[in-house]
Amino acid sequence: MSKQIQTRRKTVRDIRAAKGATPLVCLTAYTAPMAELLDERVDMMLVGDSVGMVVHGLPTTVGVTLDMMIMHGKAVMRGSTQAFVVVDMPFGYYEGSLEQAFTNASRVMRETGCQAVKIESGAYAADTVRHLVERGVPVVAHVGLRPQATHVDGGFKAKGRTQEEVDRVMNEALAADEAGCLAMVVEGVAEELGRQVTAAVSCPTIGIGASTACDGQILVTDDMLGMFDWTPKFVRKYADLRSEIGKAVDGYAEDVRQRQFPSEAETYNFKGQN
Ligand code: KIV
């Protein structure tokens, strides 16, 4: 008889129940140790394609591959038991056709064991959201500033500062909601627009550079931990790990050069003949 697998992981229902309730706490995670640290503290972890820039040193998220996302998705799943885990679909792996989207999204779900995938959602993407959801793939949409569209936009630019942009983002949000996304990341938009989208859609919105009115907030973990000198305006740094790590490495280097490391307590002694 097969053993019943016990899981305390949050489900789509828990995430959807957050609409208009206590805001969802969401952060990115790319590795097992970070997932372990975040697991009890957050509702949702996103294995974002930001991994390409944060971990792999890429200039944008455009160079991220499906294999990279699957590798990091597996690590985050291994390191967690409770949080709802979403894996980003990288650029070029879901926009080509509905079949391409399902083949690749189902592979991500199957190989990582994650709870949902995220896709950046221009208006055209509503059909993709519907196609995936109808076939059993829960989808988090992503509207507003879409990092994968950076080459079309000419950089990482906030949205919703002109009426045309407001209308476009609102239409994209309504289309993804109507198509059945379970939640929606709203990134880099004017505060009023974040508020309006949240009021207009039935699913929870997760803001990043959007509005406190959103049904949750997400940040790139490395940004909020202070790992980078430059961060976007919307990042609040809750730690200064960059300088802490610099100090620690300076201390180690000094000890090594002065032959102060390792000490007696940090070395092994010969125990004599057997
Ligand atoms: O890739 C990512 O980390 C994201 C967040 C910024 C929402 O999409």
Summarised one tens digit per residue, pLDDT across range 222-247 is 999 999 999 999 999 999 999 999 99
* Residues 6+ away with beta carbon under 8 Å from 149: 120, 122
For the annotated catalytic residues, the residue numbers are: 187
* pLDDT tens for the chain, residues 1 to 274: 455 555 589 999 999 999 999 999 999 999 999 999 999 999 999 999 999 999 999 999 999 999 999 999 999 999 999 999 999 999 999 999 999 999 999 999 999 999 999 999 878 899 999 999 999 999 999 999 998 988 888 777 888 889 999 999 999 999 999 999 999 999 999 999 999 999 999 999 999 999 999 999 999 999 999 999 999 999 999 999 999 999 999 999 999 999 999 999 999 998 887 6
- CATH number assigned to the domain with residue range 12-240, chosen from the 4 options 3.20.20.60, 1.20.58.60, 3.30.499.10, 2.60.15.10: 3.20.20.60
Q: Relative to the CA of 220, which ligand 1 atom is closest? A: 3
Residue 48 CA, ligand 1 centroid: distance in Å: 5
- Pick the residue whose CA is nearest to atom 5 on ligand 1: 48
- Contact yes or no for 130/182 (Cβ under 8 A): no
This prediction has a pTM of: 0.94
Q: Where are the domains of the chain?
A: 12-240
- Pick the residue whose CA is nearest to atom 1 on ligand 1: 48
Cβ neighbours, 10 Å, residue 177: 22
